[in-house]
Structure 1
Amino acid sequence: MLTSDSSDFFGEQILQIPLCDRWRISQRLQELKISCCCHSDGSLRVKVNNLVEAILIRSTMMQFLASRHELIDWLERCWNSQNF
């Protein structure tokens, strides 16, 4: 499961993610121009500079780590939210 060792929302976050997903998540974050680096202990250090980056990081993590049920539930909540 995904855990964060830091209590500060913005700044550097240390994420403990499964080793099998770490490289793919790191590559996707780099494609999005979000600073991150992998460590041999399984952690992924991610630099969160603003709210947009925080949303992109969360979305990327969900893409790789969430179950099908969680993704469907999230999509349904988006559909049911107020329209602009």
Structure 2
Amino acid sequence: MKSFSSEIESNHLVEVNWADRWQVYQRLKELDIPCSCTANQPLKVEIGSPMTAVQLWSVIRRLTASRQDQIWTLECCWKNRYQ
């Protein structure tokens, strides 16, 4: 009988603009998210939970979203919380 592993591969290559890659890497390290960033290689991130995936998305969005999109997001959050 073949045994199956329930372990899910959690290492992912993340395509980030080369100019932003180091900033993303540094922020992920601050958040204690396992990652690596070597010369001329894509950013590698270990995504072990849904929270980690959301944090990665948030870090990348902060660098890639336009200023107006970020303002709109903050305004929506503010309205939802205080209205």
Give the TM-score normalised by the residue count of structure 1: 0.71
Whichever structure has more strand as a proportion of its residues is 1
Distance 2:80 2:43 in 1: 32
Larger Rg: 2
SS at match of 2:54: helix
Distance 1:34 1:50 in 2: 10
Q: Report the equivalent of 2:16.
A: 17
Is residue 39 of structure 2 the alignment partner of residue 53 of structure 1? no
Shift of 1:14: 1.6
SS at match of 1:49: coil
- Give unpaired runs (5+ residues) of structure 1: 1-9
Q: Report the equivalent of 1:30.
A: 29
Specify whether residues 82 and 24 from structure 1 end up closer, same or farther in structure 2 by C-alpha distance, changes over 3 A only: closer
Q: Report the equivalent of 2:62.
A: 63
Distance 2:10 2:48 in 1: 6
Whichever structure has more helix as a proportion of its residues is 2
Cα RMSD for the two superposed structures: 2.0
Structure 1 residue ranges (4+ consecutive) displaced by more than 2 angstroms after TM superposition: 79-83
Q: Report the equivalent of 1:7.
A: none
Distance 1:12 1:63 in 2: 22
Distance 1:19 1:73 in 2: 27
The alignment-based identity, stated in percent, is 32
Residue by residue, what CA displacement relative to the aligned partner does 1:52-71 show, whole Å, maximum 9, x if unpaired? 21121111112222110121
